[in-house]
Structure 1
Amino acid sequence: MSFLIGEYDCKLDAKGRMMIPADLKRQLPGVETEGLVILRGFEKQLTIYTKVEWENTVNELNKLNQYDKINRDFLRFFIRGAMSISVDSVGRTLLPKALLDYAGIKGEVILSCQLNKIEVWEPGAYDTLMNSMPDNFAEMAEQVMGSAGRRGNE
């Protein structure tokens, strides 16, 4: 799979259905037959994975030592509320009400592609997050990317 790119503003209908933007849908071949997986995110947003990416994630999670309490607790919180969602022929998907409530989502969302997944945000929460970019973003990049970031400057 190639990586997902883009940021999209979407509206939910009265039933909680969201139309997947055409540009994003083109990046998700076979989504109507395979469906998607949605779950709670780390920052009160929702996260959507393709089935293939979800299987990759589950394979990594399955490597955790489940005799270790912190691993068991992490798994419980991470997969809590995870659900398969389908996409109809016109590109709509129903977002589960319990997950919408968790993320404080009412009628509008922002979809933010994050490499192999899509984050679903309540617009105000997303704007707050994006407006809090650190002054030292270059230093953050160096710290996060480590030697990978330094190689590009040699």
Structure 2
Amino acid sequence: MSYLTGEFECKLDAKGRMMIPAGLKKQLPEADNEGLVINRGLEKYLVIYTKKEWDKKLDELSKLNEYDRNSIKFVRYFTAGATNLQPDTAGRVNLPKNLLDYAGITGDVVLTCMLNKIEVWDKAAHQEMINNEPENFAELAELVMGNKGRGRDE
């Protein structure tokens, strides 16, 4: 599997359209044919998936217990606002106003590639998030990644 890489600054035009940066577009060859899906993130940002990755998310969600209240709530909030994006002939996508409002995006955005998805941040909110990097990133790395490889012959 190929993962997405990079961070890109973009501007929205008055109609809420965003040009997909050339460096990102090269990593999304299927976007012109299959489109993309944008949705709310788990915090105040948006997430863009390829159609293929979005379908994988839906497959995961379809396995949850449809009678469990927490599962129902999670699926409801996770999928709320999900919108198909189809790049126009100029390579722009129109970001839905309700999602822009949710994320507090007003004009300048930062696209951050996160493995198999793209986070869409308001530029100021992204800078604030970056400025709040954990004081000791090494401790976080050890906590999250420290057990990787244990139990294998090294």
| Pairwise TM-score range, normalised by the shorter structure | over 0.9
- In 2, Cα distance between the equivalents of 1:49 and 1:38? 6
Q: Deviations over 1:79-118 (max 9, x none)?
A: 1100111111221000001100111111111000000000
- In 1, Cα distance between the equivalents of 2:149 and 2:53? 26
Aligned-residue offset at 1:145: 1.6
Equivalence for 2:98 = 98
Structure 1 stretches lacking a partner, 5+ long: none
The 5 A counterparts of 1:1-16 are 1-16=1-16
- In 1, Cα distance between the equivalents of 2:141 and 2:39? 28
Secondary structure of the structure 2 residue equivalent to 1:129: helix
- In 2, Cα distance between the equivalents of 1:150 and 1:107? 46
Aligned-residue offset at 1:30: 2.0
CA change 1:96–1:150 in 2 (3 A) is same
Paired-residue identity, %: 59
Equivalence for 1:44 = 44
Question: Number of aligned pairs?
Answer: 153
- Judge conservation of contact 1:109–1:120 (CA < 8 Å) in 2: yes
Secondary structure of the structure 1 residue equivalent to 2:101: helix
- Judge conservation of contact 1:142–1:149 (CA < 8 Å) in 2: no
Equivalence for 1:111 = 111
Structure 2 stretches lacking a partner, 5+ long: none
- Judge conservation of contact 1:142–1:150 (CA < 8 Å) in 2: no
Equivalence for 2:24 = 24
Q: Deviations over 1:43-89 (max 9, x none)?
A: 11000000000011111111111111111101111111001111112
Aligned-residue offset at 1:7: 0.4
Q: TM-score, normalised by structure 1?
A: 0.94
Aligned-residue offset at 1:146: 3.5
Equivalence for 1:64 = 64
Equivalence for 1:33 = 33
- In 2, Cα distance between the equivalents of 1:127 and 1:106? 15
- In 2, Cα distance between the equivalents of 1:28 and 1:93? 13
Q: TM-score, normalised by structure 2?
A: 0.94
What CA RMSD, in Å, does the superposition of the two structures yield over aligned residues? Answer: 1.6
- In 1, Cα distance between the equivalents of 2:29 and 2:72? 34
CA change 1:120–1:113 in 2 (3 A) is same
